[in-house]
Structures are given as C-alpha cells and as structure tokens.
Structure 1
C-alpha cells in the first residue's frame, strides 16, 4: 500500500535541500573569493611581474665594437653590417630536420652545419646560434616569404669584424672569435656578465685581447612587447648602448707593409721603435696569417694548415721567440767596459785571433794584431770581447745589461710576451736542479761576452735596448696604442710615454759607441748593405748560433737550412738625431750583413726617404758577421 507524506513534510525536506545547496554554493564562493583575494592581493606583485614577463621582453642592445686604426687613421680592424640566419634551439624541437628544410631555400654547406654544432657544443646561454652568416638580400627575401614555416628561426642584422689588410700586422692586431665556455668563465669572474648579454664575440689575441674592455663598449637594452609567438610587436623603452673606444696606434702601417714585404718568404721578425717616445712603428713576425679566418670560427682544414705548418705562422716571433743576440751584443758590452773602467776609449788590446782560458782556445774569424774599442765594433772582433767579458765577470755583465731591460718583459701592450734569459749565476741556480749544473763556470762568461751562450732575448727587448742607446739612455715601455678615441665625442685620450728608467752613463762613452756603430755601416760589416745611403745610420751586424759545432768550422753550405745561423742586425737613424731604432732577425739567414741588414736598409729608406722597394730585400751571397 502506497504511503503518502504530508505537504508540510515535503516542504520541510525541500527547504533542507535548498539550504544544503545554498551552503555548498556559498562555500564554493567563499573558496573562490579567498583564492581571488590571494591571487589579486597577496600575490599581486609577483603575478603582475610574471604577466609582464610574458608580455614584455628585455632585449640587449649590443654595442658597436671600437675600430683599430694606424697613426694616420688607416683602418686595420673595422665593422660592417650583414644578415645572419639564426636558430633558437630552445624553440626548435627537431633541429636537424629544420636545418634540412632551411637548406631547400637557403644555401647551407656542410661547413655551416659543422660550425653550428661546434658553437652549440662550446657555448651556453645563447638565445640563438647562427647557421648561416652574411646572407644576400635575395636569400633574406626567400626566407622572409616562408618564415611562418620555421618557428624559432630568425634573420638578424649583426655587425661583423673585418681586417681589411688581411695578413699585414696580424700578430699585433690579433682577432676576435665567438665567446666560448672559457671566455664566459672569465667574464663571470670579472663581474661583466650583464655587459656581455647578447654579445657573441670577444677579443682572442693581440690588441683585440689586450684592449677588450676599451673596444667592447657598454651594452644597452630595449623593453619590447611580444606576442604569444615571442615576436616583438611594440617598443616600450630603450636604453642605448655605448660604443667601444677606437684605438689609434703609434704604428705606421705603410712602414709595416714595407717591412713585411722585405722578408719575402723568409722567416723572422722585426721591431722598429720611436726612441723618443717608445711608440712602436712596426712589429713584424713572418710568416703571418689572415685573422679574418677566425671571426666566424676557423674551419678544421684552415686550422690544421696553420697548426701543422713547420713555419709556425701563428707564432709571434717578435715578442715570444727568444734568440741569442750574437755580435749585436758588443756595443752594449763596450759601454759596460767603459762605464766600469775596465777599458778606455783609445786603449788597444791584443787580438791574435783567439783567446786562451782554462786551457781552451776561443777562436775568432781572424787575427788583427791589436784593436781598440772603436775598431772592435767596426770589424766585430770576438777576441776583444772574450777578454772584456773575462775582465768584467758575469755579475758585472748581467748587472749592466739588466738596466737595458734585457732578459725582462718590456710591458708592451700585447699578450704573450716572453721574459728571455739574461745569464747569471743566480739564474743558473734557479734554472737547473743538479748541483753540477747549477755551478757557473768561467768559460761560460767568455761565450756570454759575444752574445752567445745562455743569452736569449726577444727581438722586442733588443730593439728597445737599441732605442735606449739611441736616445742617450732613457728606457721606455714600448707601446702600440697612442690614443684611445671616444667614438661618440671624438675625444682623444693619449697613452702617455712611460720612461722606465734613465740609465746612468757618461755622455762621452755613449758618443764613442755611437761613432763606432756609424762606422760599421761605412767601412765595417754593414757597409755593403748601406752603400750609397743618403743618411747616417748607426748599426751592428750579428750572427746568432743555432747549435754548437763543438769546435768544428762552420760552413753554411754543409749545414741543413734550419740549423744555419740566424742573421741579426740592430740600427738607429738618422745617426745624429734618431727617429727610429730597430732590430731585425732572419731565421737561418747566415751572417747579419747577408740577410738582416738589407731588410733594415729597405725599411730605413722608406721611413727616412719615402722610397718604396718593388721587391723583397736581396740576400747577400757574401757577408760578414
């Protein structure tokens, strides 16, 4: 039998259900209201920032890198704009498939793929990685027409570094390259991470490395509104970047060209300095290389060719390689003897063609009877300096030569300078481990006196010492940068000449040595190279021994080419008021008068007379030390 409920009971049940539903709805609204309050009030600042981050992007504005120009404003390193096709790996799921598709509309070579992979492996924190650089206008147009197919791929306008003279001056200018992991670590250690946001390149060698901070500039930023696809749709604010400073060098690039051409295919180095300021006029290391190869990342083939070459073109022979100075050491030895009172200017010494010490005969090229200081330099008497070295002693020699900066880094504004070796008993004790090797022997002093033995200096040190001799005893810190130039205001900030010391020497002793060096190129060992010169030049030839013949007679034709003696020459001119001092070395070039002196003649002819040779300097078949 069906049970019927009263209307009052039905109404009460309905009311209870409505109340429960109402309470449930109110509870839901309370939760929503609480969440709304939490998001809109408690978390307002955080969520507002997140929303703005999604809507607004902060993009770095990379500064223009400063240019490098010579003393006359000739550009040696400059920038130019070009388009680059870049892939953002974080926004591309299948990179290889994307590159394959891109290659259908833009020429992408295997070397481009290899460079892309190398950059991707070596770099971090890059928003995009280039797959092709220096796109043509036609290639840009083809890509833009199909850009919708390639999310995460963009065409960017970039500044590229260019070295318009190629190999000329490469070792001093250096080059830039893409920032790698090691560079990033150094940037972080210097606290410059923010200033390198968006930067792809950094100085790797030469002046590009030394003056990286000055050349790089200060990074700016753009605040832009972006759409859901990450593309900028509106510029909101902009803080412009500050371009890097330009470098104006003391270098005369035309003199540099003449000096490099004078070597021809020969290996060696040359350094020319203004003796009145320490400014470097030319710095040559032969053979050279093209720094443009490194800008986008050097190919494996090019790197192997440079790295495996027996001529070592990447080696800066002017500041890193060290060589015995040979007889170019003798003018400094003569000064040491005069200053120490061990010799007088006109004092004649026996020259039988040899010097006996400890039962060993140190040989000379010929017997001359007797010679004075002047003649000893002009004819390059070894016997005179064997005796003088014995009289001065190794401590006397080392103490005097140290004042000229020999065996000490000069502090030039280039990385990678070698220290060299100024021999002394103290040096030998620190150099060798065995007690018998640490002992200094008197016979070693005799060899040091003619620029052989343990003597080993850079061409830069030898040129700087010659400059100090030319200017009366002021030793400068050699430098390549003459001015920093503000790219916005053109304000020129000079790099002041820095005298390291005034070497205490008597004027009459300096004058006597200089007269002898002038005579070297009139009637002595340098006379053939400077026959008919329209200016006075002081110089000294030298022959740097590559290996010991152990008492045997040296015959050039019977010695392997790379074991032959080095040809060395130092000079300054005009002799009466020098404006240039230099050191030249030709590896395995023989006597100093054979190879090095003719190169110096061409360089001095151009510097003083404006005469430009039309072929490399000849190598004299006959010559003297």
Structure 2
C-alpha cells in the first residue's frame, strides 16, 4: 500500500475509533453510575433511549404523590358531599389518570405541535366563554358541553406554559423571543381577567413570569416586567368582585362572624384544622353537620376539610404529597433533553407550587383566601384533568431526556435556572404551614374545639329545683311545691317537622290533631329553639318526659309555696321573674328563670336557686336545630336553715296582732325581734301588717299584688329592718352608757329633776313631775329631766360617739336586703343646725335619731352582755342528703367600755323590779328592760311609737326581745305584754 493510501487507511481507522468512543460517550448514563463510566448494555436504538433517572422508586415518586392527592380529594368529596359528586369526580379522575399515562409518551420533538394545539384550543375556549359561557356567582367561566361543563381558563394554564416554553427555549436572541412570549401570555391572561376570574388570571401571569425567570431571560427585562406589574397592581383592585374585595378585607381586618362572609370562611377553616381529632370526624354521626360550617369545603377550603374529616395525619400526608410532587417536577426540569421540555417542567413546578402555597395559606388564614383551589384535591373536572395531563407530560419529557457525558451541542446545555431553589422555597413554606397547623392543634386546639362546639350547639335551660328555707327545727317555711299545676310541653319545631313519625306520636300523646300541631310548629321560624305547644297533667307530663320524642321538653309548673302564710312573709320575701336589672347583672339568667325578689329569697338567691341544667341541640350554621346533643342535669339548690323558732314567731305575731288591733289605726305598724345576745342569731322577726309570698307566684296574682301595694301600713316592708322611727326613752340606755363610759357624771349622783327644764329660753317637760334621782332610779322611771341634764353634761360628741359604738345610725349587717341604717345626727355632720335644745332632745331619744327595732335590740344586747353582735338569720346551708355547712358569721365585738356598764344594767333591772316595765316582773326569771314612748311626726294626731326592749334571764342573758307598736298613748302597755309572752315562749317553751 502506497504511502498515501496507508495514510488514508490509518486516518480512517482513527476516525472509526473516535466514532466508536463518541458513541460510547453518548450512551445514556444509568442512575447511580458516574459520568463517563462504561455501560453494561449496548447503546439503545433511536426512539428508545433509556431515561436518566427515570426508573425506580424515585422516578415513581411524582406520579404516586399525584395519585395520593387525587385519592384524598375523592375521599373528601365522599365525606362532605356524598356518593354522587364523588362518583362524578372519580370518573373524571379515571379519565385524567388515563390521559396522564398517555401523556407520559410525549417526546420533545412533538412539543411544539402539542403546545400550539393546546394553546389554540384554550384561547378559542376563552373566546367562546365570552360569547356563550355559563355564569355563576357573577362570573362567566364555563362552557356547557352536554351534561359536562368545561373551564377553558384551566386549560389555558397548560397552553401558556407549553407555548412559552417553546418560544423562550428556541435559542433565538432575547429581543426576538421576549416580545412573542409577552403576547403569548397576555392574550389568555386578559381573556381570563375579563370573565372575571382574577385568581386564575394571576396564576397565569405568575406562570409566565416563572417561565421567563427560568428561561434565563435577562434579569433587567424580568425586573422591568415585575416593576410594571407592581405599578399596575392598584388598578386591579377596581376589578375585584365584591366577594373578592370582602376576602381581602377579611384578611386585612381579621375574621368576621357573618356566616356568609369571607372572614367567617377563614375562621371556620382554622376551626376545622385546629379542632379535628387525630383521625378526624369521618364516621361521627355529626360529621356532616360539622362539615356544613365549612363553606366551599370541596373547592377553596378542601385542605381544611380533609383535616376536619380525616384528621391531622391526613393533613400531613396532603402536605407531604404536594411537596414531593413540586420537588419532582423541579428535578424533572433539570433532566429534560431540550430547553423547551425543561421550561415546561419548570413552569409546571412553579405553577403547582404557587397553587399549593396560596390555597394552604388561605386555609390557615396566613394569606388572603384568593379562590385558588388545591390542585388535584379540590372539586373541578377540568382542573383535575389538565393538572394530571400536565404532570404526565412533564414526566414523559423527563423520560425522554438524555444527558451527554462529555459533549452535546451548546443549545442543549442550557438548563432552567433557579427551579430547585424555587421548589425548595415551596417545600419550606409548606413545612412552615404544617408547623402552624400543629400550633393550632396544640396550643389552640382546645379553644377551637370549644368554639366549634359552641357555634354548632344551642342550649335551652332546664330549671333547677329551688332549695327550701327551713326553721331551726327543720320545718319548711318556703319551698314546698305544688304538683297539681299542669306541666308545660315545649317542642323543637324544626326537629319534629323533619320527622313526621315523631310528630304524629307527639300529637297522639297530646290528643291534638296532627295537622293542627304541624301548622303551629310551621308558623314560627325554623331557628326557634323551643315552642310551648300544650299544658298537660303532671302524670302525663312525666310520661312524655320519659318516653316522648327527642325534640320535646317537659317543664313542670312549680309554684313556690309558703306553708306559714303571712307569718314569715316580709322576712322570707318572695320569688318572681328576673327584671331588666337582674338580667344585666347576671348574664346566665333568662326571662323565664325564677329568682328571689325580696327578703331571704333574694338574700340567699344564689344558694337557693341551684344550677340550671341544659338540654342542647345541634344546629346548622343558620341556627336550625337538627338533633339532640348533650343534656346536663340541673343541680338542686341548697336548703337554707334559719335560726328562727316558728313557735316563738307565732307567739309574738299573735300577741303583736292583738296589740296592733287595739290601736284602731289602719296606718299603724308593729314589729318584734327576738335576738340571741351571745351569737347574734335572730330567733324571731315579726313585721305587721304582712303578706303571703305565694301571691307573687310566679305567675303573680295581679289583683292581690295591687291590693297589697295600696294597703296602708306598708305590708310589703320588713318593718324590723327597714322602718326607722324615734326610739324614745329606750335610747336612755345609750345615754346612760355614754355617761358610765366617759365618767362625766357619777351614776350615783342624785340630780334634782322636777316637771320640766328650761334651757336657752325653751322649756322641756318631764312625762310627769319627779323628785331628785340618781341614774338607776332615773332609768327605772324614765325621768326625762334627769336625762336632759345628763345629755347637756355629756355634750353631743360624747353622746353621739357612744351611740355609734353601740351601732346606732348604721345598718346592723343582718343578712337581709335593703336594711335601713336609721339616723343619728351630730354637730360635725352638717345639715340641720345643731342647738342646745337638740342635745336636750337627743337625751330622751327624740330629735335627730331614728332606729329600727333590730338596731334597738342590738344595743340592748350589747349593754346586757358587753359585746356587740351582728344579727344573723341563716345559720346553715346544704341538704339532708349531703349534710349542712354553717354559714360564717362575724364574731361578737367586745365593747371598749363594757366594764363600766354595771349601773346601766342595774337600771334595766330596776325598770322591771319597780319601774315602767313592771309588767315583766311576773315572769319566773330575772328580766332587765327599758320602755319608751316617742312622738312621731309621721303619725297623725296623738299617735306614738311605743317601745319596750328586754333581756332575760338577766344574770346571763340568752334572749333579747324588742317590740314596737304604733298607736295612741293608751297602747303604751301593749309592747310590755308582747315582750312578756315572747320571753316566756323563748325561755319556757313548754310553759
């Protein structure tokens, strides 16, 4: 072979060798094998190139994640909308999955044809929508194709991505590619915005920007476009539909409470996510009711609905599948064979990621609820098919991709930029959303669950039985119930109307025509909690309560009974419906409750009332009851045990009534108090005239109540604690105590008295002429002149100071509402001018001093024992079943001048031994007392306040009886008789 020929042969062999090496180097690199490593298999034939990284578990992760999302969407539809919508979506999903499998056969060579075709069909559909579209909620977005509806804007997402990828990945200069790309994007964006569908239009614009960024268009051009979009953004606000503006305002201004508002939707989504149990509410009988509180639960709020129905575990799976799918789409963008294919994958990754982030953020209240459905999960056939086909196309283009190990044309080396960074950002945001959801479940879960319960439940009270008021021996003074009154039957209209069988059963029990009962129930709004439908005998009421329909409540008509009638009337008070002030003060009260209105019923209302129960009903968001919910049984009120002795009360009341009858003055009042001076326990408290609390029901006997209001003598007042009158000579005990406490005048000093005393030109008379006397005798005979002079010697400040120490002029603290503090004037108090004559009058219990019978009894007890007590009526609360607990009472307070009171006590004893109270001397035990008669300007003519206050047995007092009888002077002895009978009953009950 010639040299030339040899050289040619050698060159051919070298070229052949190089081609062989190039062929080996161009062979696909299997996953897991280093670039340039020898392949174990021969080079694949054209058209059957093995994909890089296209097989194995990692390659299947994307399609599997898509399948998981589809299954979650179908499960959610089945749970919240039923079989029919779920079946329809499932059929669409089967078609979409089949098309996704078919789309996996897409190759880069066919991309241009497919892109142009999809884009053209999408734009044509958008044009048809403008001409003959189907409208709903103020927007025209759909085309009706037989029984199906198609949304071209969803197809436009794929068309824009595909055609932009073809244009921007063509390799032409940027100044040629960019204008064409902008026109390609602008047409469907504008047509979609005109529907109006701003959320989809915004997504289309974002997808276009994503393709621009990933296609390596210059940063300057992209920045200019973004800047223009920012400047134009305020103009888009004017294009917002009312519901879209409401959603934006709800996000900026907080959640609302209007069930039709966007704020309500976001709040319900947060409640659904935060209150769901670990495995959700699916299977719960009330799952459908809870789902009804979540608007758009199959579209915009589908993620929250998935968590509500299937629990946080399903929510975590949802986020994981979405994150995996976004990441695999991003990875595919780096492994496609051509720039156009890579841009398709990159655009789809960004579009899918934006949809997932915006939808999830809106469901958690972290972003405005923009009306962006969750891809593959939210209901919508067109969107489901388009997304599945697009995903299949991306993974088909990825399988078609072949990377050359050492050499490939420069046009094939340009990969989309920032795709994995954007995908990583989406995954990071999803992780943040998962953390937020976990926080809702953890820290706020209990509160959100309570909110969910409260908003879906309406409760009506079940009244508690009111506790009884008992005397010291356990006899019932208030609380017996009348079971002869009819029971009221209340029905829940919506529940009975929804169940004809139960309606018929109730009508049969009531003996009412079914049609009439139905008409009565249908005449009220469906949201009415309960409606009274009948009154039945107690026995039938009990039967209906035990066996009646679920939507029926039986309320026994219970009237408060007072077995002793008027005997304890003003002391016990009465019950009635709460007034406006009661309702404002206690939000737990309703207009149908029964509360104490006066006396001990009012004082111990919180104890006696008990705790009402509740019958709750589950309600729809519109407030319509649909099913019974939990029932809380009422807790009976506690009984209140009083220190009063019914026998002593009866004896005093009868004697006092006889005394009052002798006055023949219908306006006169009378009162008697029996007080234990050691503890302050009130053993009796009589007030005349009186009333029977049963008059006030409820219901109130209007005629009887009106008669009581007009009756003279104030029968509605508890005169023992609320009627303050001049104490007369009983106040001389206080004046004498002031003297012994201050030592101004020796109690043994004999003072000239006589028939009158003239001071500063005014003459003050004695009740009869008397000779010189010391304190004891002056008390015994109630010598006015002695106490005129003693008051002048003491001066008003000493006198008033001691009176205050003995409780004069202030409430006693007795456990009764509305107690009067009486009156005690002083020069330092201001008001009326204070004269020397004022001091003189105060010395005998006239002038600026008015007291209640209970105040009088209290200072009598203090002088007799040296300790000031706080009067108490209630001594224990509880029940026979649970036991009784004592009612705390303030301990007696020792008087600072107790050791000096001996002369005063001796004077009280002298009153009975041979003075004005000698009617008590016949009692078989020692008694100390003081009588008094005071002129009262409020009484007509020669009417007086006739007093006596007595303590016995006087060597160790255990009872003080104080009596007031208004009437003429001849009635002055009437209180003595009342006191004598009261003391005898208290100390010798069997006598």
* TM-score, length of structure 2 as denominator length: 0.48
Say if 2:502 is the partner of 1:502. no
Q: 2-side partners of 1:291 and 1:488: how far apart?
A: 27
Could you tell me which of 825, 830, 836 is aligned with 1:442? 836
Task: Give SS of 2:947's match.
Answer: strand
Q: Does 1:452 pair with 2:452?
A: no
Match 1:301 to one of 703, 715, 718: 703
Render the CA deviation track for 1:555-575: whole Å, top value 9, x for unaligned: xxxxx8665112100110011
* SS at structure 1 position matched to 2:473: coil
Q: CA 1:240 to 1:531, structure 2 compared with 1: closer, same or farther past 3 Å? A: same
Residues 415-447 of structure 1: per-residue CA shift (max 9 Å, x gap): 1111111121123x1x3xxxxxx4311011101
The answer on whether the counterparts of 1:336 and 1:397 sit within 8 Å (CA) in structure 2 is: yes
> Could you say which residue in structure 2 is the equivalent of 1:544?
934
- 1:524 is displaced (CA, Å) by 1.0
Match of 1:27 in 2: 150
- 1:538-579 deviation per Cα after TM superposition (whole angstroms, max 9, x unaligned): 11110011239xxxxxxxxxxx86651121001100111111
Question: Partners in 2 of 1:562 and 1:289 — Cα distance?
Answer: 27
Q: Unpaired runs of 5+ in structure 2?
A: 1-124, 126-142, 155-295, 311-448, 495-506, 512-527, 661-668
**1:69 aligned onto 2:470:** yes
**Do 1:547 and 1:563's aligned partners in 2 also have CA atoms closer than 8 Å?**
no
Tell me whether 1:567 sits opposite 2:930 in the alignment. no
Q: Within 2, Cα distance between the matches of 1:569 and 1:130?
A: 58
Q: CA deviation at 1:274?
A: 0.5
How far does the alpha carbon of each residue in 1:147-205 deviate from its partner, in whole angstroms, 9 at most, with x for none? 99xxx9975324432211111111121111022333211212xxxx2xx4696211111
Identify the residue that residue 501 of structure 2 maps to in structure 1.
none
Correspondence list, 1:385-534, <5 A: 385-427=787-829, 429=830, 431=831, 438-471=832-865, 473-486=866-879, 489-490=882-883, 492-499=884-891, 501-505=893-897, 507=899, 509-527=900-918, 529-534=919-924
CA contact under 8 A between 1:338 and 1:345: conserved in structure 2? Answer: yes
Matched, 1:590 2:969: yes
Higher-strand-fraction structure: 1
Distance (whole Å) between structure 2 residues aligned to residue 488 and residue 44 of structure 1:
51
In the alignment, does 2:955 pair up with 1:610? no
Please give the alpha-carbon distance, in whole angstroms, between the structure 1 residues aligned to 2:757 and 2:952.
34
Structure 1 residue 495 displacement after superposition:
2.2
Distance 2:837 2:890 in 1: 38
Per the alignment, do residues 231 and 280 of structure 1 end up closer, same or farther by CA in structure 2, a change over 3 Å counting?
farther
> Does the residue aligned with 2:479 lie in a helix, a strand or coil?
strand
Return the alpha-carbon distance in structure 2 between the equivalents of residues 420 and 303 of structure 1. Answer: 28
Given that residues 542 and 591 in structure 1 are in contact (C-alpha distance below 8 angstroms), is that contact kept between their aligned partners in structure 2?
A: no
Q: Contact conserved, 2:961 with 2:983, CA < 8 A, in 1? A: no
> Which is greater in Rg?
2
Q: What is the match of residue 344 of structure 2? A: none
Q: Distance in 1 between matches of 2:891 and 2:452?
A: 60
**Superposition pairs for residues 197-236 of structure 1, below 5 Å?**
200-223=593-616
CA distance in 1 between counterparts of 2:305 and 2:606 reads 42
Quote the Cα distance in structure 1 between the aligned partners of 2:145 and 2:624.
48
What is the Cα deviation at residue 320 of structure 1?
0.9
- Secondary structure, aligned partner of 1:207: helix
8 A Cα contact 1:250 1:482, kept in partner: yes
CA distance in 2, matches of 1:127, 1:563: 61
Map 1:236-385; keep pairs closer than 5 Å.
237-264=630-657, 266=660, 267-385=669-787
* Aligned equivalents of 1:163, 1:403: Cα separation in 2: 38
The superposition leaves residues 292-347 of structure 1 with CA deviations (integer Å, 9 ceiling, x where unpaired) of: 11121323321221011112210111111111111111122112112222222321
How many residue pairs match? The answer is 525
TM-aligned CA deviation for residue 271 of structure 1: 1.4
Quick one: distance in 2 between partners of 1:497 and 1:542? 31
Partner of 2:579: 180
* 2: CA distance, partners of 1:129 / 1:543: 59
Aligned runs of 1:6-25 on 2, under 5 Å? 22=145, 25=148
Q: 1:141 to 1:162 in 2, by over 3 A?
A: closer
Question: Using a 3 Å threshold, how does the CA distance of structure 1 residues 184 and 197 change in structure 2: closer, same or farther?
Answer: closer
Cross-structure match for 2:486: 83
CA distance in 2, matches of 1:414, 1:400: 26
Query: 2:789 aligns to what SS in structure 1?
Result: helix
Distance change >3 Å, CA 611–CA 131, structure 1 → 2: farther
C-alpha contact 1:354 1:363 (8 A) present in aligned 2: yes
C-alpha distance in structure 2 between counterparts of 1:368 and 1:497, whole Å: 45
Report the alpha carbon displacement of residue 58 of structure 1 after superposing the two structures with TM.
4.0
Provide Cα deviations, 1:189-228, integer angstroms capped at 9, x if missing partner: xxxx2xx46962111111111112122222333456899x
- Give the C-alpha shift of residue 22 in structure 1: 4.7
Cα contact 2:575–2:697 (8 A) shared by 1: yes
CA contact (8 A) 1:83 1:155 kept: no
* Structure 1, gaps ≥5 residues long: 1-15, 92-101, 107-124, 432-437, 549-559, 613-625
- Cα pair 1:272 1:283 within 8 Å, conserved: yes
Q: CA deviation at 1:246?
A: 1.5
CA contact (8 A) 2:921 2:927 kept: no
Q: Give 3-state SS (helix, strand or coil) of 1:569's partner.
A: strand
Report the Cα offset of residue 590 of structure 1: 2.7
Q: Is the 8 A contact 1:226 1:232 kept in 2?
A: yes
State the partner residue of 2:570.
Answer: 171
Mapped partners of 2:640, 2:869: distance in 1? 20
- Separation (CA, whole Å) in 2 of partners of 1:57 and 1:246: 31
Q: Secondary structure at the match of 1:388?
A: helix
Distance 1:440 1:58, change over 3 A: closer
Q: 1:166 to 1:138 in 2, by over 3 A?
A: same
Alpha-carbon distance in 2 for matches of 1:24, 1:142? 55
How far residue 377 of structure 1 moved from its aligned partner, in angstroms, is: 0.8
> Displacement of 1:65 after TM fit?
1.8
When residues 567 and 502 of structure 1 are mapped into structure 2, their CA distance, relative to the original with a 3 A threshold, is same
Q: What's the secondary structure of 1:479's corresponding residue?
A: coil
Distance 1:595 1:578 in 2: 23
> Per-residue CA shift, 1:353-389, capped at 9, x if unaligned?
2112112221113332211111101111101001001
What is the DSSP-based 3-state SS (H/G/I as helix, E as strand, rest coil) of the residue aligned with 1:572? strand
Counterpart contact for 2:614–2:634, Cα < 8 Å:
yes
Give the stretch that moved more between structures: 564-573 or 291-300: 291-300
**Does 1 or 2 have the higher relative contact order (CA < 8 Å, sep 6+)?**
1
Q: d(CA) in 2 for partners of 1:381 and 1:447?
A: 13
